[in-house]
Structure 1
Amino acid sequence: MVPLDDVRKLLAATGARVRDSVPLAGLTTLRVGGPATVAECGDTDALVATVRALDAAGIPLLLLAGGSNLLVADAGFGGVVVRVATGGVELGEDRVVAEAGANWDAVVAATVAAGSGGLECLSGIPGSAGATPVQNVGAYGVEVARVLRRVRLLDRASGEIHWAAPEELDFGYRTSMLKHSDRALVLAVEFALRTDGTSAPLNYRELAHALDAAEGQSRPAAPVREAVLRLRAGKGMVLDMADHDTWSAGSFFTNPVVPAARVDEVRAAVSAYMGDVTIPTYPAAGGVKFSAGWLIERAGFGKGFPGPDAPARLSTKHTLALTNRGAATASDLLDLARTVRDGVEERFGIRLEPEPVTVGVTL
């Protein structure tokens, strides 16, 4: 643990507000995580100055904004947590620029309210705007890589600030060159908007059906946003303090992409375990994408697993979410994640990969 007085002196001129022994459980959507020293940065200048100062001093830091994709150890974090509390949003005719700490759903809501389209399918996703390109956030047939114009980055090695184009970020399914790397810090993001107020093409069957539309059609952005929020809420994927199904990191496992050479092997394993069933799959770069939620449930881990008395359970609405029922620890959630991951691998030969970033713990 870095002495608090040393941190305060180091960051005195940065504009950051330093607090000691802050429970990180209160700053994450899983609501787990022990104490840490937190430096809160309310503007981009303070954020850049704070990160540069800590890097120059060799002090470990953890960047935290919305906290929606983090599983933090019960022991907390021994360095300094830099809270990205920047929130500026600038709307243009065909674009929106949001600072890294801006609430993502509020950004989407602002674009729809202004009569613009393009981001509505990404409504209701918890977390910050700056996190969206890091893991190439996606939902209901739209992902960030398709709508992003550019990202403003701080290169922590050189200290330089620059705008990077999407093609520089090596986007993939729920990943980018920014994920699992501490070289660059997202300061702001810019997205393209549809000026006619219509949505992105409805390429997700469930959403198109909810809107009584054919796949590939567009609809006015506002009703599409409303439909997405309804669908997400039905799966416990819209934050609600009163609903423990939303005390989660969203989808805990990514949908596995199986190389083409192994697809028949996986299908045979599923058939051997379940008999003749229709397995939902989707085309994907490098192979075929299987539904992680479908595999989890068919492997014997149903909604609410392992039962009503467990502190950590699968959501009662969606098997892909691991939830804190109010008193779970990081260890409880990890034990559940391992049970599910290992059970799916044993039955079907597919090893699920976690989506959240783990801090101080490993799956």
Structure 2
Amino acid sequence: MAPVETQTVLAEHTTLRLGGPARAFVVAETTEELLAAVRAAGEPMLLLGGGSNLVVGDSGFDGTVVKIATRGWRVDGDSVEVAAGQNWDEFVAAMVAEGLGGLECLSGIPGSVGATPIQNVGAYGCEVADLLTSIDCYDRRTGEVREMSADELGFAYRTSVLKGTDAGIVLDVRFRLRADGLSAPIRYAELARTLGVELGERVPTADARKAVLALRRGKGMVLDAGDHDTWSAGSFFTNPIVPDAELAGVLARIAEVVEGPVPQYPADGGVKLSAAWLIERAGFGKGHPGPGGRVSLSSKHTLALTNRGGAKTEDLLALAREVRDGVRDRFGVTLRPEPLLINCSL
């Protein structure tokens, strides 16, 4: 079994660079080490991949953190199986280089492969649920490893049945990609404009990846140690889905204070509104500071809450509460956090 460290500071393992110490910390580089670490961990236990979707409290985690560091993939025609600890963007770049399409619009997203089905990661009109066929999952309740199909994972907007629980641990992920060297149909208007194509068209995978990376860099969404706008957990709030029965009332309230059309998109069970649009119209612009200026909204993208250096997790949460409450008070819409909050809350 991999060695156990003590009092490892979790800020060193999250993209926000926030979080206190873990009582125990184990790095698992093989599936066998991962299973052994999980079986020995007891409760509480926290699984850690790339640390890009975690907000860890200042007091840390009084349990065992298991860092999943397994790597590699195997391609068989248009199917690929990849280890849960594999860096996601390295994997996407390799698939693009091999002429396998489908994942290119998810370029530049930080974190590990195993986290993507948990969150149903998505961007620029594509999400993991579009391409994932199955996973190998360790069930802590039964002690067995079993294959779970995409249908069993219960995918929905930025969630799955695995989110918010450590009962099921992703070991490997399988995707079915496109072997013709072309992207998935371009579904996102901003990306289509950047590529100079119509919605629904397909382009070479490398062209789509290049355009997506450029768009993400412009929003501070590609990790760069020298750029505090990337010291974040990505989009902090999900786009709210308003049930059809409530939509007219919500739009009427918005119209009382904001002129012009409200961006809205079809979604299961209702209509999706733009969290960034609501945040900006509630008076929180790019760069809006939190306590002491130690945190702020990104200067490039209002959905990212960033650590400007020297921050504490509570500084970030104070800013998140200010934004959440401001949007709710102005528009009657409650924003929900996208990252997992560990030993802290809004």
Q: Which residue of 2 aligns with 1:53?
A: 40
How big is the shift at 1:308?
A: 10
Give SS of 1:80's match. strand
Aligned twin of 2:28: 41
Superposition CA RMSD, Å: 1.1
User: Which runs of 5 or more residues in structure 1 are unaligned?
Assistant: 1-14
CA distance in structure 1 between the aligned counterparts of 2:289 and 2:196, rounded to whole angstroms: 37
The ranges of structure 1 where at least 4 consecutive aligned residues each deviate by more than 4 angstroms after the TM superposition are: none
Instruction: Report the Cα offset of residue 138 of structure 1.
Output: 0.4
Alignment of 1:108-187 (within 5 A): 108-187=92-171
Which among 9, 12, 15 is matched to residue 29 of structure 1?
Answer: 15
Please name the residue that 2:257 is paired with.
Answer: 273
Residue number in structure 2 paired with 1:89: 73
> Hey, what does 1:348 align to over in structure 2?
331
Deviations 1:200-247 (A, max 9, x none): 000000101111111001001001000000000000000000000000
Letter in 2 for 1:318: H
Letter in 2 for 1:24: L
- SS of alignment partner, residue 78 of structure 1: strand
Counterpart for residue 331 of structure 1: 314
Structure 2 contact 47–166 (Cα < 8 Å) conserved:
no
- Segments of 5+ residues of structure 2 without an aligned counterpart are none
Deviations along 1:305-340, one digit per CA (max 9) or x if unpaired, are: 027951010000000000000111100000000000
Counterparts of 2:77 and 2:53, CA distance in 1: 31
Corresponding residue to 2:52 among 44, 48, 68: 68
Does residue 269 of structure 2 align to residue 286 of structure 1? Answer: yes
- 1-side partners of 2:80 and 2:125: how far apart? 20
Quote the offset at 1:22 in angstroms: 1.0
SS of equivalent to 2:62: coil
Separation in structure 2 between the aligned mates of residue 96 and residue 337 of structure 1, nearest angstrom: 38
Structure 1 residue 268, shift from structure 2 partner = 1.2
Q: 1:179, 1:59 → 2: CA distance?
A: 18
Q: Matched residue of 1:318: which SS? A: coil
Query: Structure 2: how far apart are the matches of 1:353 and 1:339?
Result: 13
Query: Contact between 1:17 and 1:41, CA under 8 Å: does it hold in 2?
Result: no
1:111-138 CA-partner distances (Å, limit 9, x unpaired) = 0111111100000000000000001000
Residue type of the alignment partner of 1:237: M
Q: Secondary structure at the match of 2:285?
A: coil
Query: Which whole-Å CA distance do the structure 1 matches of 2:129 and 2:138 have between them?
Result: 20
Contact 2:121 2:158 in 1 (8 A): yes
- Output the CA distance in 2 between the equivalents of 1:199 and 1:60: 42
**Is structure 2 residue 94 aligned with structure 1 residue 105?**
no
Q: Which AA in structure 2 matches 1:281?
A: Q
Q: For 2:307 and 2:3, how far apart are their aligned partners in 1?
A: 29
Work out the CA distance in 1 between the residues paired with 2:338 and 2:110.
14
Residue in 2 that maps onto 1:239: 223
- The structure-2 alpha-carbon separation of the partners of 1:166 and 1:307, relative to structure 1 and needing over 3 Å to count, comes to closer
Letter in 2 for 1:19: E
Bigger CA drift: 300-309 or 342-351?
300-309
- The corresponding residue for 1:313 is 296
Q: State the number of aligned residues.
A: 345
Q: Which amino acid aligns with 1:305?
A: H
Among candidates 8, 11, 17, match of residue 3 of structure 2: 17
Contact 2:53/2:233 (8 A) holds in 1: yes
Which position in structure 2 is the counterpart of 1:302? 285
Deviation at 1:92, TM superposition (A): 2.5
Helix, strand or coil at the partner of 2:34: helix
In 2, Cα distance between the equivalents of 1:182 and 1:50? 13
Give the CA deviation at 1:93.
1.9
What is the alpha-carbon distance in structure 2 between the residues aligned to residue 340 and residue 357 of structure 1? Answer: 18
Residues 272-323 of structure 1 show CA distances to partners (whole Å, capped at 9, x for unaligned) of 112x211100000110000000000000000000279510100000000000
Instruction: Judge conservation of contact 1:96–1:111 (CA < 8 Å) in 2.
Output: no
SS in 2 for 1:132: helix
1:210 pairs with 2:189: no
Question: Within 2, Cα distance between the matches of 1:298 and 1:71?
Answer: 26
